[in-house]
Amino acid sequence: MNPNYTYVITFIIMLILPILAEIYVTVTFKKYNMVRNSRGLTSDRVARMILDSNGLFDTKVEFISGTLSDHYDPRANVVRLSNSTYGQISVAAIGVAAHECGHACQHAERYFPIRLRTAIVPVTNICSRLWYLVFLGGVLLSNMTIGTNLIFVSIVMFAAVVLFQLVTLPTEINASRRAMATLERDGILEADELPKARKVLTAAALTYVAGLIVSIMQLLRLLAPFRRR
């Protein structure tokens, strides 16, 4: 295949894949956000139940503004649920809340992948902000030895970002598995409600898969000039 065609196709995939993943998770969440759980439990109450059942009595559950901005903050030891989740009684909201509680349990159990992810966060934050500037500097100075060195450093920095995403994926998948197991074991959702919550969490996981695929493709593009030498 013509290298130019390959470049264009790769660029289109990198552009479209994350958009499709975001659309899918948004559509899936909206669909199952219309389905009430039969017990009438709110997502924040479910989060409190799951945390307490795992002995995490000191972990708080708080509201945070935004849409699907739900997360667990290990520094503050808080599960934060967004506008679209907090106080909601849908199976989608409960699935998301249970997923974030899964992260809290991972930290409490010192689950290795999340410990690794936490350890590399500071380095990854720096690399994600600066790698492109370093790369651009290398391109501008490409006629000099320092330019080649800067490009190589930028690739190493971006590789650190890819590593972070690679570690994040199994962490997210494990949190979803914990969530579904808890929702079933504790009878929080009925048997016919569990597959609906699982579809929401699967859709969310696909955004991480898409992000990782795009990052790997970008890393390969950065490495291509070195591989041809």
pTM of the model: 0.88
184 catalytic per annotation: no
Cα angle, residue 185 at apex, residues 178 and 112 outer, rounded to 5°:
20
Mean pLDDT of the chain, nearest integer: 93
Catalytic residue among 22, 62, 100, 109: 100
According to the model, what pLDDT value does residue 187 have? 94
Q: Map out the domains of the chain as residue ranges.
A: 3-227
Q: Do 163 and 128 contact (CB within 8 A), yes or no?
A: no
Q: Give residue 4's pLDDT band: very low, low, confident or very high (50, 70, 90).
A: low
Provide the residue count of the chain. 229
Sorting pLDDT into bands at 50, 70 and 90, what band is 185? very high
pLDDT above 80 for 72: yes
Cβ atoms within 10 Å, residue 161: 20
pLDDT one-digit tens code per residue, 14-46: 999 999 999 999 999 999 999 999 999 999 999
Question: Could you tell me the sign of the dihedral formed by the alpha carbons of 107, 22, 86, 196, in that order?
Answer: negative
Token pair of 22 as six digits = 């975001």
